[in-house]
Amino acid sequence: MQLARRVEALPPYLFAEISKKIAARRAEGHDIVTFAIGDPDIPTPKHIMDALHRAADDPANHRYPESEGLPELRQSISDWYERRFEVKFDPNRETLPLIGSKEGIGHIALCFIDPGDIAIVPDPGYPVYEIGTMFAGGTSYKVPCTRDGGWKPDFDAIPADVAEKAKLIWLNYPNNPTGAVADFDFFERAVAWAKKYDVAIMHDNPYCDVAYDGYKPLSIFQVPGARDVAVEFNSWSKIYNMTGWRIGMVVGNGDMVDALMRVKSNIDSGIPQAVQRMAIEAVYGPQDCVDEHNRIYQRRRDRMVEVLRKIGLEVDTPKASLYVWAKLPDGITSADYAARLIEDCSVVVTPGRGYGEQGEGYIRLSVTTPDDRMEEGLKRLEAWKGL
């Protein structure tokens, strides 16, 4: 039996490998505290769960859903964007529910990339941008993003021959893994650059409502003309603590959204309708849960930043996202540092190198660890003697 070359070339998924290491240490009897994965520990709000329970008892929701989702769900997505960003989308043509935004992120390359085509991906960046490109037979041009540049790509530094050949570019603000944010001027430059080179923008925006200190992240569609060249991926996973229910969306350019719909309709049968009903409740139900979650995350962020600085790491306090991105002392690789934390403290962090070459020298920590376990992990770091 011989597997396809694309599978043979596939690197292990970063978080699958981390999960294996955690399981191995626990099997050896160690008490593990993990800051590795951005999976909210706070339960899905009760009013949203109540909607799921009601919908699960309805026989109409026991059958195949449709790939394009319920009309009411598409309308709720449109209404949410209008309420949050004052941007309107046609629910029938410019919105599409997804089985979690990761599903759409992985499949959208099939809409644009033919073998040999180029996608521009940020480095560091979410690994799925590059993997989706590889599955479609394309090549990823990694544009360096650095701390000095605010972890944003310099569009002028992208070689003209790359820009002219590229089919799409990935952006992600608030950013995973760095927590960086982008302002209106940045998105305006992105849209202008994309129009100049006829490149489609994929903006990944699942942390738009996970923000602190009064900061309000933007949508790329607040820039005039963005709809000509862009789609935006979003998710209820991080906003409403619904990671386990797999509900996301893409909005934007109608032709681009339709292309993804055509791919999806040949691959999946849509989101379970009971889950769609709970997502509708998330939009129209009480919203105080969002602020409450952010208060918890902000308190944890502040404590984590304090401890990381105390043990000699450099940290820029993030305005948004679920992550703290910490610079290691010079000469230490992120993999070595993370390995020593597991061995010495039974604390798990994510090596920055897993997000690309520019992530080397950094580690990422998530604030989605329950308060008591977070405090235990941070106390272990405070008591650690270091490398």
| pLDDT tens by residue, 109-157 | 999 999 999 999 999 999 999 999 999 999 999 999 999 999 999 999 9
CB 247 within 8 A of CB 208: no
- For the cut 80, the answer to whether the pLDDT of residue 13 exceeds it is no
pLDDT exceeds 80 at position 349: yes
pLDDT bracket for residue 14 (50, 70, 90):
low
20 lies in a domain?
A: yes
- Residue 175: pLDDT over 90: yes
* Same domain membership, residue 177 and residue 78: yes
* Positive or negative: CA dihedral 234, 239, 240, 242: positive
* Pairing state between β 248-252 and 95-98: antiparallel
Tokens of 300: 């944890």
Domain boundary among 269, 284, 299: 284
Confidence band of 226 (pLDDT split at 50, 70, 90): very high
Mean pLDDT of the residues in the chain = 95
Name the pLDDT band for 83 (thresholds 50, 70, 90): very high
Tell me the pLDDT band of 15, cut-offs 50, 70 and 90: low
CATH of the domain at 32: 3.90.1150.10
Domain count, the chain: 2
**φ, ψ at 38 (rounded to 5°):** -85, 65
Environment class of 43 (CB within 10 Å of its CB; exposed 0-12, middle 13-18, buried 19+): exposed
Say whether both 86 and 225 belong to one domain: yes
Model confidence at 67, pLDDT cuts 50, 70, 90, reads confident
pLDDT at 25 over 80: no
Alpha helices in 266-369 (DSSP H): 273-284, 288-310, 334-345
- For residue 207, what pLDDT is reported? 98
Helices 273-284 and 46-56 cross at an angle (nearest 10°) of: 150
* 51 assigned to some structural domain: no
pLDDT of 29 reads 84
- Residue 364 domain-assigned? yes
Residue 93 and residue 190 in one domain: yes
pTM of the shown model: 0.95
What is the C-alpha to C-alpha distance for residues 276 and 123, in angstroms, rounded to an integer? 34
Condensed to tens digits (0 to 9), the pLDDT of residues 269-295 reads 899 999 999 999 999 999 999 999 999
Task: Say if CB 33 and CB 373 are below 8 A apart.
Answer: yes
Band the pLDDT of 200: cuts 50, 70, 90: very high
If asked whether residues 87 and 215 sit together in one domain, one would say yes
Is pLDDT above 80 for 9?
A: no
Same structural domain, 114 and 189? yes
Asked if residue 54 belongs to a domain, the reply is no
Q: In this structure, is residue 11 part of a structural domain?
A: yes
State yes or no: cis peptide before 177, omega within 30 of 0.
Answer: yes
The conformation of residue 321, written as its DSSP 8-state character, comes to S
Q: Which domain holds residue 308?
A: 5-44+288-383
CATH code for the domain of 251: 3.40.640.10
Pair (280, 342) in one structural domain: no
Look up residue 100 and give its amino acid: G
Q: Are residues 86 and 227 both part of a single domain?
A: yes
Whole-number pLDDT of residue 7: 81
Q: Do residues 132 and 164 both lie within one domain?
A: yes
Q: At residue 302, does pLDDT exceed 80?
A: yes
**Among candidate residues 151, 250, 143, 258, the one with its CA nearest the CA of residue 202:** 250
Residue 193: the pLDDT is: 98
- pLDDT confidence of residue 43: 96
Specify if 367 maps to a domain. yes
360 compared with 18, residue with greater pLDDT:
360
Q: Is residue 214 over pLDDT 80? A: yes
Residue 185's pLDDT is 98
173: pLDDT strictly greater than 70: yes
pLDDT category of residue 355 using cuts at 50, 70 and 90 = very high
Q: Is 378 within the bounds of a domain? A: yes
User: 118 φ, ψ to 5°?
Assistant: -110, 135
Residue 358 has pLDDT above 70, yes or no: yes
Flag whether 203 is in a domain. yes
Q: Write down which residue in 284, 299, 334 finishes a domain.
A: 284
Domain final position from 250, 284, 318? 284
Tell me: pLDDT of 2 over 90: no
Instruction: Give the pLDDT of residue 385.
Output: 73
The two structure tokens encoding residue 159: 């070689």
Based on the fold, state whether residues 117 and 226 are members of the same structural domain.
Answer: yes
pLDDT on residue 6: 84
User: Is 347 in the same domain as 279?
Assistant: no
pLDDT at 4: 85
pLDDT in tens, 84-116: 999 999 999 999 999 999 999 999 999 999 999
Residues 21 and 120 in one domain: no
Q: How many CB atoms lie within 10 A of CB 184?
A: 11
Do both 268 and 366 map to the same domain?
A: no
pLDDT of residue 387: 64
